[in-house]
Structure 1
Amino acid sequence: MTTTATRTKKTAPLKPAKTIEEKKTQAEALHASIANQVEQLRDSARWTAFLTFAQAFHAYSINNLLLILSQREDASRVAGFRKWQSLNRQVRKGEKGIRIFGYSTKKVTEEDENGDEVEKRVARFPILSVFDIGQTELIDPEQGDPGTITAQLTGAEDYGIVDALSAYLEGEGWTVERSSLPGTMNGVTRPETMTVVINEDLSPEQAAKTTIHELAHVLLDHTEDMAEYSAHRGLMETEAESVAYVVAGMVGFDTSAYSVGYIAGWADGDTDLITSTAARVLRTAHQIAGILTLEDEATDDAEDVA
């Protein structure tokens, strides 16, 4: 269903007693704290377990990545049925496989131009079925779950963010929906239909963070070219979630339980990559903060970060 967005000033949750310079300083400090927290995570046993888990997967070609995303928008880590079983996960009954191209070679004997028999290997590309981690569940929960380093937010307040940002998106011609999404998917931006979907099962606080994340994708033009998104997905997800973390901090709630692990995973723990996104992340964070404040402050912020 489509979210009914309230457009009155009552929905704007922010009227902080801060100058523009103070807000800029706060945003910069929040972004810098991401790299610090990722460094701390990187030194933990959780990160070691996560890396060991992640090393079980191999990189896919750009063509296979596009195939995977075209069949399952939230796919993040895929493997075959038996591979998941070896990783303490079982594909849930009824889940539909994601079809990709495999690679193998076959030895054949052919005659050369002299009539002699020669052996050669011919490449083959069989169709294979793989499954995303969101289509699986733990076999033995007592062993723990090294496959995730994030925790869903559970707060009962969305700080007026969902309505305010939905109103902005709708004013730009987008449709915002709250409906069920598959697997572990929290939200998705679909530029071909100009639709943003937020999972209806999220807590208000997680829904607020996810709405910021999806708007960041829109403002940063991340999903305009799916080939480009597939090629640079780690960077783009790092940017969008960094924006969500910074904006949430400016509003007054902490998303680090979810955001730090999410960013660390997509950035492969690379704090230099996280730091390199500062200019784009902060510009977008200030833009969204302006949307969430009263109109006169939004105008000032827009001029300040232009």
Structure 2
Amino acid sequence: MATNQATLESLSTEVEQRSPVTFEDTDSRDDEMEAEMGAMIDDLIAAADEARESDVFQQWLDAQAAFHDYSSRNAMLIKMQKPNATRVAGFHTWQNEFDRHVKEDESAIWIWRPNTVTSHKCPQCGNAPSYHEWNDDLACDRAGTDPETWEIDPNEEWEKGEILCGFSPAPVFDVSQTEGEPLPELPTDATGDAGELFEPTIAAGEALGYNVEAVPASEWNRPEDGFCRYDDPATIRAKVETHAAAVSILVHEIAHAELHSPSIDGQEEAARELEAEAVAYVVSRKLGLDASGSAFYVAAWTDDEPEEIEERLDRITSTASTIIDAIEAER
């Protein structure tokens, strides 16, 4: 049920002032981590119900900009437990790779670590044989069957490799919780110079397989500032008034090319525009550019189920990470 405006204002204040959470109890840690992430998704939905700009969504995007190498779920968890975190790593990673040590009495930040097994992969679905027996929902003819009863075709190729089999809590620590050798400065966090990012952004789009062109404002003759035409490969065009604006436009259109296709209806078009603009915001923040002009409305997701919203967040996360890595490779 939609909440009234006073309740929404209260929600916004509560989110901004929410105390960091902790997951110290080993026995309840898994359930508490899932519950907190569910609450974050519920806050996004509450904002969507009132078609208002979402402070919750803005906070989530800021977390993604800081932790673009992490999944959306882990970025949420880091933000909940240590809102001012900037760089996190495991105890031994800080020690062995950065010659830094976790200070005494520091509390860990808990995230989800993927658990993998090395096994032969089913050629049809890519999962381990043992995974089939208790998983009836696999898109595989062997789903729900005992591997010992299988008659294996000798012509089938059963590749061996690492297979994801679940997640478990793992501790990490923010740089502020460590001491030792100074960290090397990352160029993407240093200047945010749009002039230095302009050409690498064009090159990144081309490296991802698209036809990219930046057009001077004096030669631009379209009502919008950029567009993505879903050719094969996609064609991306952006108007250039300033380098900073052009970088944001280019990233927005590259996100469309990465995420979307031309087969959309009116309502879905609004939802996809939000996805692309959210990617542009995360990338701009990560590269040090001013992204304060962005406004995000989750109203386009009002009819989505919580699972669909979480899937959209994952799409934003992975796409922003892909574009950031491509730009950094070209710098």
Bin of the TM-score, shorter chain as denominator length = 0.3 to 0.5
Q: TM-score, normalised by structure 1?
A: 0.39
Point out which structure has higher relative CO (alpha carbons under 8 A, 6+ apart). Answer: 1
